[in-house]
Amino acid sequence: MKPTLFILAAGMGSRYGGLKQLDGLGPNGETIMDYSVYDAVRAGFGKVVFVIRESFVEDFCNIVLKKYEDIIPTEVVFQDIADIPEGFTVNPERSKPWGTNHAVLMGKGVINEPFAVINADDFYGKESFEVMAEFLRGVIGKKNQYSMLGYHVGNTLSDSGTVARGVCEVDAEGNLTNVVERTSIIRKDGKIVFTDEDGKDVELKENTPVSMNFWGFTPEYFDYSEAEFKNFLKEHGNELKSEFFIPLVVNNLMVSGQASCKVLDTTSSWFGVTYADDRPSVVAKIQKLIDAGVYPEKLYK
């Protein structure tokens, strides 16, 4: 049994504009997803599942999936705002999707093995896929042992502006105990700082672990998620912009003692196109990795 890679590709890039998941950033039009799939294949993943919006399935199949036909098996599932449990209704004024853990729920029924979850528009790096694949192979046949890649905050900053990051708190055994969302993180005068509740700069160490939404789960996570989603809808279902995020579910499972979440260390540099101004920098970083021999000039024929 090999682990599965589950790619969340249903979102629109509101700050970037358009479907940034399909933006060709490599020298031959490769998307960031192409590099993630390439890294996953060589790390030992056996299947890739994409969750997308059904409205762009034709473009997605033509631009993305055809490349992988002879590389790795793929499946597509759809995230739809109306896909909620029986007994609940969607506020007719709501247009916003339900968030990352709702997207994860769409994988139930097609994923029956340990799996990793990533964002489509984030570049995670070769080592991170190797670290996650090793963890997932170690939890085959087990339950309630999850993981999250802990990126060094200094390896996740944008050249184009401030970023928000989930700063991780870890116990002596390396398990996640808390994730605190910090905003306006930036490198200033050689130091990494964030803005606290009082508007003051607080320094973060270069290697402080942060979450970039790269998670590892076993299949019973879907059952937990279904139960948590019902609780979420009871409390927030009528709100127009409430979102059902992965960290919410993981935190509830940790607090209740039902599951643990290991923070896996990675020295990989994360990068992504948060702002339109990030695009040239991402193109340059990918080319630098190609020049260093980490990736071939052309990923797929």
If one counts the domains in the chain, the total is 1
Q: Report if residue 50 sits inside a domain.
A: yes
At 106, which CATH number? Answer: 3.90.550.10
Beta pairing class for 145-152 and 209-217 = antiparallel
What beta strand segments (E) does 98-236 contain? 115-119, 122-123, 145-152, 163-170, 176-188, 191-195, 201-204, 209-217
**Which uninterrupted H or E stretch holds 261?**
strand 260-266
User: Would you say residue 12 lies in a domain?
Assistant: yes
> Does 86 reside within a domain?
yes
- H helical segments located in 88-189: 100-105, 126-138
State both tokens at 116. 């990793």
pLDDT tens, the chain, 301 aa long:
999 999 999 864 444 444 556 778 999 989 899 999 999 999 999 999 999 988 888 888 887 899 999 999 999 999 999 999 999 999 999 988 899 999 999 999 999 999 999 999 899 999 999 999 999 999 999 999 999 999 999 999 988 889 889 899 999 999 999 988 888 999 998 999 998 888 889 999 999 999 999 999 999 999 999 999 999 999 999 999 999 999 999 999 999 999 999 999 999 999 988 777 888 999 999 999 999 999 999 998 7
- Answer yes or no: is 219 within a domain: yes
Alpha helices by DSSP H, listed for 94-207, are 100-105, 126-138
Q: Which long-range contacts (C-beta less than 8 Å, at least 24 apart) are formed by 93-99?
A: 93/240, 94/240, 95/240, 96/240, 96/241, 96/243, 97/10, 97/11, 97/243, 98/229, 98/243, 98/244, 99/243, 99/244, 99/245
Q: Is residue 48 part of a domain?
A: yes
What's the domain range around 252? 4-143+211-258+269-291
